[in-house]
């Protein structure tokens, strides 16, 4: 199965659900969605005990899994956005919310090294989506690509929405033209075209945060497209001071959700490089910081270490 080209996606080999497939299937009551007009059938809690049912449901309709915890402030920003977009899609996919503190086996199965972490299940198979907080528009883009992946794998069911008129399509806010052009290019795997569209959107409006975030994401996706993680790690180990070799592994780590590993690799490279050769490493670090978000605790830690290396 191919993964959708999504922010922070392509977590190669990051998930092992084999231990959860045959667990007793104890039903749990769905949690009420917070978005207006939401149906409880679309947003529900999933547990270690009930996850077998979730896997089975994913054979009919794509299941988005939101891994969160009560103490996680970024989760409190992302979860309502996920719920809102899922509800607006009118039953074409559902959202399973997993409290990682209460469900350690699921947290281990998904290898949730940091949260919020969002993955999907299609036909019982995991499809990594992104880690960290992303914009509502990016969530919409990722979910649209997820529906395409699901359709390619024959998962096209629809969950009935309680209280919704039959055959009524959910209203969708149209994308701005350049964003739509970028999204279409992403669907085609043409990241250069997508980057160009986002650059033109930023030329029109330098404050377009979604375009800036989208540009960073497609540049990352272009760099990791077709890359082999094992070969990249071997090349980086053989040339510890080769920036391009280290950049590729850092990009792959970041896209795979291993944010601290990506930052740590580049910080170590920055510290080891001669002062006159550090500029490209600095630029890549700042770019990756921007992708994850300045308010993320991992960025704050990495920036602190970066500052200590600068002075």
Integer Cα distance of 194 and 214 in angstroms: 9
Distance separating alpha carbons of residues 111 and 114, to the nearest angstrom = 9
**Helix (DSSP H) and strand (DSSP E) numbers for the chain:** 12, 5
> Which position has the token pair 């969708």?
172
Are 80 and 136 in contact, with CB atoms under 8 Å apart? no
Is 180 among the catalytic positions? no
Cα-atom radius of gyration of the chain, to the nearest Å?
20
Q: Which of 156, 212, 201, 204 is nearest to 179 (CA)?
A: 201
Give the span between the Cα atoms of 177 and 196, in whole angstroms.
13
Annotated active-site residue in 75, 106, 120, 285: 75
Interatomic CA distance for residues 110 and 16, integer angstroms: 6
Tokens of 117: 């972490």
Which of 144, 133, 130 minimizes the C-alpha distance to 172?
144
Kindly name the residue from 43, 55, 72, 213 that is annotated as catalytic: 72
| Joined tokens for residue 244 | 């391009």
Query: Which tokens hold the place of 262?
Result: 């990506």
To the query of whether residue 72 is one of the catalytic residues in this protein, the response is yes
- Neighbouring residues of 248: CB distance < 8 A, sequence distance ≥ 6: 223, 224, 227, 232, 235, 236
Q: Kindly list the catalytic residues.
A: 72, 75
């Amino acid at each position: 199965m191919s993964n959708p080209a999504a922010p922070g996606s392509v977590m190669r080999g990051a998930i092992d659900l084999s231990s959860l497939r045959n667990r007793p299937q104890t039903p749990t009551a769905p949690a009420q969605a917070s978005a207006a007009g939401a149906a409880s059938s679309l947003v529900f809690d999933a547990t270690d005990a009930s996850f077998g049912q979730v896997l089975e449901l994913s054979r009919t309709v794509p299941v988005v899994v939101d891994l969160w915890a009560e103490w996680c402030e970024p989760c409190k920003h992302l979860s309502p956005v996920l719920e809102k977009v899922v509800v607006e899609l009118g039953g074409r996919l559902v959202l399973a919310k997993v409290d990682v503190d209460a469900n350690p086996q699921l947290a281990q199965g998904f290898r949730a090294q940091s949260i919020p972490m969002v993955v999907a299940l299609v036909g019982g198979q995991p499809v990594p989506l992104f880690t960290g907080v992303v914009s509502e528009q990016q969530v919409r883009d990722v979910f649209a690509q997820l529906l395409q992946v699901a359709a390619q794998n024959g998962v096209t069911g629809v969950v009935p929405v309680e209280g919704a008129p039959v055959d009524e399509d959910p209203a969708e806010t149209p994308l701005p033209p350049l964003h739509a052009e970028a999204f279409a290019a992403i669907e085609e795997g043409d990241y250069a075209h997508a980057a160009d569209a986002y650059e033109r959107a930023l030329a029109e409006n330098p404050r377009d945060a979604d375009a800036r975030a989208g540009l960073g994401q497609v540049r990352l996706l272009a760099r990791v497209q077709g890359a082999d993680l094992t070969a990249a790690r071997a090349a980086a180990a053989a040339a510890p001071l080769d920036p391009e070799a280290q950049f590729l592994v850092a990009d792959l780590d970041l896209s795979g959700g291993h944010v601290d590993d990506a930052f740590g690799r580049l910080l170590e490279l920055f510290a080891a490089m001669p002062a006159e050769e550090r500029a490209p490493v600095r630029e890549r670090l700042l770019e990756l910081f921007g992708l994850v978000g300045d308010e993320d605790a991992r960025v704050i830690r990495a920036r602190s270490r970066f500052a200590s290396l600068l002075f």
